[in-house]
Amino acid sequence: MIENPFYSYENHGPFEFYSLGDFKLEDGGVIPNCKLAFNTFGELNETKDNVIVIPTWFSGTSKDYEAYIGSDRALNPDKYFIIVINQIGNGISSSPHNSPDPISMSNFPNVRIADDVRAQHQLITEHLGINKIALVVGASMGAQQTYEWAVRYPHIVKRAAPIAGTAKNTPHDFLFTETLLEAITSDPGWNGGNYRSHTEVADGLKRHANIWAVMGLSTEFYKQEKWRLFGVESLDEFTNGFLQPLFQSMDPNNLISMGWKWQRGDVSRITDGNLEKALERIKAKVFVMPIDEDMFFPPRDCEAEQKLIPNSELRVINSICGHFALFGGEGEYYHNQIDTHLHELLES
Amino acid sequence: MIENPFYSYENHGPFEFYSLGDFKLEDGGVIPNCKLAFNTFGELNETKDNVIVIPTWFSGTSKDYEAYIGSDRALNPDKYFIIVINQIGNGISSSPHNSPDPISMSNFPNVRIADDVRAQHQLITEHLGINKIALVVGASMGAQQTYEWAVRYPHIVKRAAPIAGTAKNTPHDFLFTETLLEAITSDPGWNGGNYRSHTEVADGLKRHANIWAVMGLSTEFYKQEKWRLFGVESLDEFTNGFLQPLFQSMDPNNLISMGWKWQRGDVSRITDGNLEKALERIKAKVFVMPIDEDMFFPPRDCEAEQKLIPNSELRVINSICGHFALFGGEGEYYHNQIDTHLHELLES
């Protein structure tokens, strides 16, 4: 366990905790008293069929989805009971940096996408008493969890909208994530994950941020100086003044835990590696929503999977921000596209 | 100066040397007894108008272009006198690792694309007595030099074919190259450029190779297991068995020198930063030849420049190998495309 002021309730709240008890993981580890942090919007109706579940993305928290939710949005808390659930390892739910011995820091066990979804399923069914989900929607690693929900619990999930993510991670994406992780673990301050403060890994976290700067956006984003969308006045301010300090405030073990999980996202683990069979299990109506400029979850990878999902459509989101469009840099232009598709999906 | 068996005549020959004397650089440095290594194919005709100049790419040498040249190719030594010139810093021409004090290793001065082209101009005009070039063609950093040739010496260059490169480097490309360089300089073995052997920087060079694996190819390349094109049997063999050992055999200071140069490629330095004015200077007929899957010199960046060149056409090369198509992994499929365009250009 280690102190890190970034993961405060002030920064990322509101949220509440649900304890899963001792949570057994696919790869054999156990998280004792495993805690999921979640935030809810709106009210559960009497028939308990107005539920929307939203899992978080790499390095993100429930806070990041606030811009997606509102009375004027498809994700409308006046109509729906919306549950945003922080993935294990994100620094808010049970994570390397906030777990006590014997699973603290570098001893945190390997967690898979399916572990998160099983944990979320326990929260939804046992704690909240819900057995039908109107929509699971999430971006990036949130999309990986969305797919896992639809494949693993086909009779619970009525609709699904994976944004900018895949059901089975691609080899290219694995290699990309590896460079993100190597940027951190190559820092002598990393010390095998046993640093005294995340600040000792500042150089590695900076390089991690710089690789994000290359792959997270688009060539055109920089050419057109669209970093202005993020409220900065120069490229230097975008990288040195925004991206680098953002990632430098995070916990390295948390990022490594999530990155390891991301690399191995694969819904076909329950069908012996047969992706067709896994995606055929889906009963939900699915809108597959890649972002046109995404450099590592490109539309063609998402489209290849969409074609294997029985009741599905491809809905490409346009954004010069590439993958980081999900941060909402393009404001209403982005959110209106998301809303249009989600409105249609929710009304179908 | 440091020993490095990779840069041997055996590996990269044949080539011969031309000494420029003390060569003054744009950024203020001097390379005493600066040597350009070059290789020629075919014979100079009597009217001295059958000359083709080919500058090298990042980490590449004159050897790499052998597959582009042949009696059955557009670059035909039976018709043309072809001069392939190794860029400064590539380990064959004057470079950090092979230069004596006071410019050895980390003391090697900053070299720009324009320095290379001025040096090549001296070789071509003073040493070889040539005043007309039928074609300048080069890939990647070779394309940067090709553009610089056409802009700087418009009355000498009759045709130009920049493959997979830009006239002015983009901000995104700058950031990408920065991650390649950081991968090396973050290695404690780098020691500010003052290692005793390149093997001390093996970890950094491995990370450098891994970033190339992400950006140098394409998502689809990996999905379709097209690493088989490179004669390997697995993804692991492609990265750990091919790319990593390749870059680990190179000199870190050489790569840093070329990377610094690549980042700052910009033909508009002679027109006070006005790219339109710079490209308008070109008298050559130009075929701009980006590769469709290139992740850092994408067709749209190349097309934007092509539109500013008076007598030019866009000719997109198709290859699932992305930027590394230039290594010829797709064999005849790639070379036939290059040949088709170059044939037409040479006959125009």
Q: What is the ipTM of this complex?
A: 0.95
Using only the alpha carbons of chain A, give its radius of gyration: 19
Residue A147 pLDDT level (bands cut at 50, 70, 90)? very high
pLDDT at B283: 98
pLDDT at B202: 98
Residues in CB range of A268: below 8 A, 6 or more apart: A167, A168, A274, A275, A277, A278
What is the tens place of the pLDDT at every residue in A13-42? 999 999 999 999 999 999 999 999 999 999
C-alpha A100: how far from its chain's center?
Answer: 24
A210, A219, A239: residue with CB nearest B301: A219
Instruction: Write out the two tokens for B289.
Output: 């030849």
Q: Do B210 and A181 contact (CB within 8 A), yes or no?
A: no
What is the tens place of the pLDDT at every residue in B282-293? 999 999 999 999
CB contacts of A207 in chain B (<8 Å) are 179, 182-183, 186
B284: closest CA among B340, B341, B346, B337? B346
B128 Cα to chain A: minimum distance (Å):
40
Instruction: Write out the two tokens for B273.
Output: 């930063």
Residues in CB range of B290: below 8 A, 6 or more apart: B163, B164, B297, B298, B299, B301, B302, B303, B314, B316, B317
**DSSP of B143-202, one letter per residue?**
HHHHHHHHHH-TTTBSEEEEES--SB--HHHHHHHHHHHHHHHTSGGGGGG--SSGGGGH
Interface test with A, best of B175, B225, B237 (most A CBs within 10 A): B175
Q: Which residue of B has its CA nearest to A234?
A: B171
Which helix (H) or strand (E) segment is B136 a member of? strand B135-139
Q: Is the pLDDT of residue B329 over 90?
A: no
pLDDT at B260: 98
Which helix (H) or strand (E) segment is A214 a member of? helix A202-215
Which residues of A fall below an 8 Å CB-CB distance to B? 170-173, 175-176, 178-179, 182-183, 186-188, 203-204, 207, 210-211, 213-215, 217-223, 235, 239, 295-296, 298, 300-301
Residue A328 pLDDT level (bands cut at 50, 70, 90)? confident
Contacts for A102-109 with beta carbons within 8 Å, 24 or more apart?
A103/A29, A103/A30, A103/A31, A103/A32, A104/A1, A104/A2, A105/A1, A105/A2, A105/A193, A105/A194, A105/A253, A106/A192, A106/A193, A106/A194, A106/A253, A108/A253, A108/A257, A109/A25, A109/A27, A109/A28, A109/A29, A109/A30, A109/A31
* Rounded Cα–Cα distance for residues A341 and A160 (Å): 11
A178, A213, A301: residue with CB nearest B210: A178
* Rounded Cα–Cα distance for residues B285 and B159 (Å): 5
Question: What strands, in cross-sheet order, belong to the sheet with A135-139?
Answer: A16-19, A35-41, A81-85, A51-55, A135-139, A159-163, A285-288, A312-314
A176, A210, A220: residue with CB nearest B178: A210
Q: Is the pLDDT of residue A134 over 90?
A: yes
| Cβ neighbours around A148 below 10 Å, total | 29
B169: closest CA among B267, B286, B258, B87? B267
CB contact under 8 A, A222 and B170: yes
pLDDT at B286: 98
B183, B203, B220: residue with CB nearest A300: B220
CB contacts of A219 in chain B (<8 Å) are 170, 172-173, 296, 298, 300-301
Active site residue B12: no
Q: How far from each other are the two terminal CA atoms of chain B, in whole angstroms?
A: 46
For residue A110, what is the DSSP state? P
**pTM score:** 0.97
Which residues of B fall below an 8 Å CB-CB distance to A? 170-173, 175-176, 178-179, 182-183, 186-188, 203-204, 207, 210-211, 213-215, 217-223, 235, 239, 295-296, 298, 300-301
Q: Is the pLDDT of residue B273 over 90?
A: yes
- A201 burial (CB, 10 Å; 0-12 / 13-18 / 19+) is buried
| Cβ neighbours around B331 below 10 Å, total | 10
